[in-house]
């Protein structure tokens, strides 16, 4: 099959969060299964160009109409780890993708609806048409609409994956008229006419199939709380919505050969000797991290949190977990980034407050290399999210034998099972969980985790063994996507 993925992120060259990792991991898994995959993203000025091979121009003269004006675009191509990536560069007076950032501009709607239109125009102008066009989240959710409304003679099947329902992309009918989507279409012009058009909603209505990134999230988006207002649309379309759990790329996240680690160690202990190597390997990385971050060299439990600091991730509970860990005599490292000024200020104040503290380190940055070392060097990893469509950090933590402490929601519920309370078979229990996103919940899970690390080495070893047993790869999920694509093409 020939599959084209269109998105706003791709790891590691244009990464904000898990969406980027999914684009890379899924595409690689599909190629491994023998499919032809291309990825199309905007040519941001902040791309990590040094990671790309053979960047060159494919087409200099792709014209896109916006309003009464026609704009020229350049299509570039390059490879990353053998994957073919296409980049769209608009020569537009607004310099849509020359902003030094991926999201967070006040004209994000115009930037990504223009990208969506240009992507479709490029595709229909090509000789080599993909059979499946797979789009992701609101920035590219307009693409199924454009195909069906403007280019119905093109029979590509469109799949929309919802990675996060919170962000929906609201615009007016004027935006869409600028791109040639007419006033007359009732579905695109809800009354009253000033009512914002919701790009994610239109994507759900128009896509041939919709996926979400975990089975629990598929259920949650059928509720008012989980759907952020789109529950009726989701319920109406549930016959064509499937939950498929994300995987992680096991080469990119691999303690056996990760170049960011001081000492590599086995990912899957087959024998007792290898479990010992995991414990020793983690210990050595921990010491290095403590030196690097100017923390006490100590064997106390070290808790990590790597997260975007946004309301979804419960920043106040992250702060609470940090303080609780310190009160219980542990160490805590937070690597977080945010574009929300009030949250940034809170954590900056916290950073100042703890600047000379030898058991805590707060880093307000986006740092891929440090993230790898943290996953390896820490003992516990906390994720107190309000909601979590899939969540990748708990999967990466498990891969590095770091035990997750997670709030039971979305994909966390599908992948982290409490060692004490889960009804799952004992060998699947791999972490500590809590039900409600509040301080009592954090106390309940964090206290047990810290206690176990310190006082129950046998149970801790069981946790380490169980953590590494879970299949975290894209293998199974890629097969589910392939089945879904094949069904769309009537090949099953």
Which residues of the shown chain bind ligand ADP in the complex (CB under 6 A)?
A: 17-19, 21, 306-308, 335-337, 366-368, 371, 390-393
Separation between Cα atoms, residue 205 and residue 198, nearest integer Å = 11
Q: Under a CB-based contact definition with an 8 Å cutoff, are residues 215 and 243 in contact?
A: yes
Q: How far is CA 221 from CA 8, 229, 416, in A?
A: 22, 9, 20
Cβ distance to ligand ADP smaller for residue 134 or 157: 134
| Inter-axis angle of helices 142-150 and 108-125, nearest 10 | 50
Query: C-beta of 367: minimal distance to ligand ADP in Å?
Result: 5
Coil, strand, or helix at residue 311? helix
Cβ distance to ligand ADP smaller for residue 188 or 383: 383
Q: Under a CB-based contact definition with an 8 Å cutoff, are residues 119 and 40 in contact?
A: yes
Cβ distance to ligand ADP smaller for residue 145 or 380: 380
Separation between Cα atoms, residue 228 and residue 160, nearest integer Å = 18
Phi, psi of 431 (to 5 degrees): -170, -160
What is the side-by-side order of every strand in the sheet holding 2-6?
53-66, 69-80, 83-91, 36-42, 2-6, 132-136, 157-162, 209-212, 241-243
Angle at 296 between CA 292 and CA 297, to 5 degrees: 80
Query: C-beta of 18: minimal distance to ligand ADP in Å?
Result: 2
Phi, psi of 89 (to 5 degrees): -115, 105
Of 225, 172, 223, 226, the C-alpha closest to 199 is 172
Cβ distance to ligand ADP smaller for residue 331 or 415: 415
DSSP letter, residue 100: S
Query: C-beta of 142: minimal distance to ligand ADP in Å?
Result: 21
Separation between Cα atoms, residue 158 and residue 148, nearest integer Å = 10
Separation between Cα atoms, residue 479 and residue 290, nearest integer Å = 41
Cβ distance to ligand ADP smaller for residue 90 or 404: 404
Cβ distance to ligand ADP smaller for residue 307 or 361: 307
The answer for residues whose C-beta is within 8 angstroms of residue 410's C-beta and 6 or more apart is: 214, 216, 217, 220, 385, 387, 388, 389, 390, 391
Cβ distance to ligand ADP smaller for residue 230 or 335: 335
Cβ distance to ligand ADP smaller for residue 269 or 336: 336
Query: C-beta of 214: minimal distance to ligand ADP in Å?
Result: 10
The answer for residues whose C-beta is within 8 angstroms of residue 221's C-beta and 6 or more apart is: 162, 165, 212, 227, 230, 231, 234
Q: Under a CB-based contact definition with an 8 Å cutoff, are residues 34 and 44 in contact?
A: no
Cβ distance to ligand ADP smaller for residue 146 or 396: 396
Cβ distance to ligand ADP smaller for residue 37 or 371: 371
Separation between Cα atoms, residue 117 and residue 122, nearest integer Å = 9
Separation between Cα atoms, residue 161 and residue 159, nearest integer Å = 7
Query: C-beta of 140: minimal distance to ligand ADP in Å?
Result: 16
Coil, strand, or helix at residue 313? helix
Coil, strand, or helix at residue 132? strand
Query: C-beta of 374: minimal distance to ligand ADP in Å?
Result: 9
Of 48, 392, 428, the C-alpha closest to 247 is 392
Burial class (CB in 10 A: 0-12, 13-18, 19+), 341: exposed
Phi, psi of 127 (to 5 degrees): -75, -40
Q: Closest CB to ligand ADP belongs to which residue? A: 18
Cβ distance to ligand ADP smaller for residue 11 or 466: 11
Cβ distance to ligand ADP smaller for residue 392 or 452: 392
Separation between Cα atoms, residue 486 and residue 481, nearest integer Å = 8
Cβ distance to ligand ADP smaller for residue 172 or 288: 288
């Amino acid at each position: 099959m020939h599959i084209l993925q269109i998105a706003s992120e791709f790891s590691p060259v244009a990464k904000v969060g898990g969406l980027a990792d999914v684009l890379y991991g899924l595409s690689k898994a599909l190629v491994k299964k023998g499919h032809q995959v291309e990825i199309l993203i905007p040519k941001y000025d902040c791309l990590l160009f040094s990671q790309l091979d053979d960047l060159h121009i494919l087409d200099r003269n792709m014209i896109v109409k916006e309003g009464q004006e026609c704009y020229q675009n350049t299509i570039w191509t390059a490879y990353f780890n053998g994957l073919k990536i296409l980049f769209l560069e608009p020569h537009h007076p607004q310099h849509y993708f020359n902003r030094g950032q991926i999201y967070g501009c006040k004209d994000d709607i115009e930037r990504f609806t223009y990208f969506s239109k240009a992507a479709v125009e490029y595709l229909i102008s090509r000789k080599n048409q993909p059979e499946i066009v797979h789009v992701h989240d609101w920035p590219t959710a307009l693409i199924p609409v454009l195909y069906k409304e403007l280019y119905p003679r093109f029979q590509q099947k469109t799949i929309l994956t919802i990675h996060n329902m919170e962000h929906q992309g609201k615009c007016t009918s004027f935006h869409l008229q600028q791109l040639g989507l007419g006033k007359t279409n009732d579905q695109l012009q809800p009354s009253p006419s000033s009512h914002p058009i919701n790009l994610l909603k239109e994507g759900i209505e128009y896509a041939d199939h919709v996926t979400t990134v975990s089975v629990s999230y598929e259920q949650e988006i059928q509720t008012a709380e989980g759907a952020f207002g789109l529950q009726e649309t989701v319920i109406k379309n549930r016959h064509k919505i499937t939950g498929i759990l994300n995987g992680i790329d096991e080469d990119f996240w691999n303690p056996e050969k990760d170049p960011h680690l001081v000492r590599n160690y086995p990912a899957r202990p087959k024998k007792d000797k290898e479990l010992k190597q995991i414990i020793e390997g983690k210990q050595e990385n921990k010491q290095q991290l403590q030196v690097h971050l100017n923390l006490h060299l100590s064997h106390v439990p070290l808790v990590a949190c790597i997260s975007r600091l946004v309301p979804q991730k419960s920043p106040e509970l992250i702060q609470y977990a940090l303080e609780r860990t310190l009160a219980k005599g542990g160490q805590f490292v937070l690597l977080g980034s945010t574009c929300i000024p009030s949250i940034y200020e809170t954590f900056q104040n916290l950073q100042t407050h703890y600047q000379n503290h030898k058991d805590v380190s707060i880093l307000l940055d986006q740092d891929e290399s440090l993230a790898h070392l943290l996953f390896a060097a820490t003992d516990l990893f906390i994720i107190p999210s309000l909601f979590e469509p899939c969540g990748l950090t708990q999967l990466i933590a498990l891969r590095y034998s770091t035990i997750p402490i997670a709030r039971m929601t979305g994909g966390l519920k599908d992948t982290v099972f409490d060692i004490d309370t889960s009804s799952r078979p004992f060998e699947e229990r791999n972490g500590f969980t809590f039900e409600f996103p509040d301080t009592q919940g954090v106390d309940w899970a964090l206290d047990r985790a810290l206690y176990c690390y310190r006082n129950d080495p046998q149970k801790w070893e069981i946790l380490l063994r169980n953590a590494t047993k879970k299949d975290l790869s894209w293998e199974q999920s890629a097969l589910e996507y392939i089945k879904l694509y094949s069904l769309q093409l009537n090949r099953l």
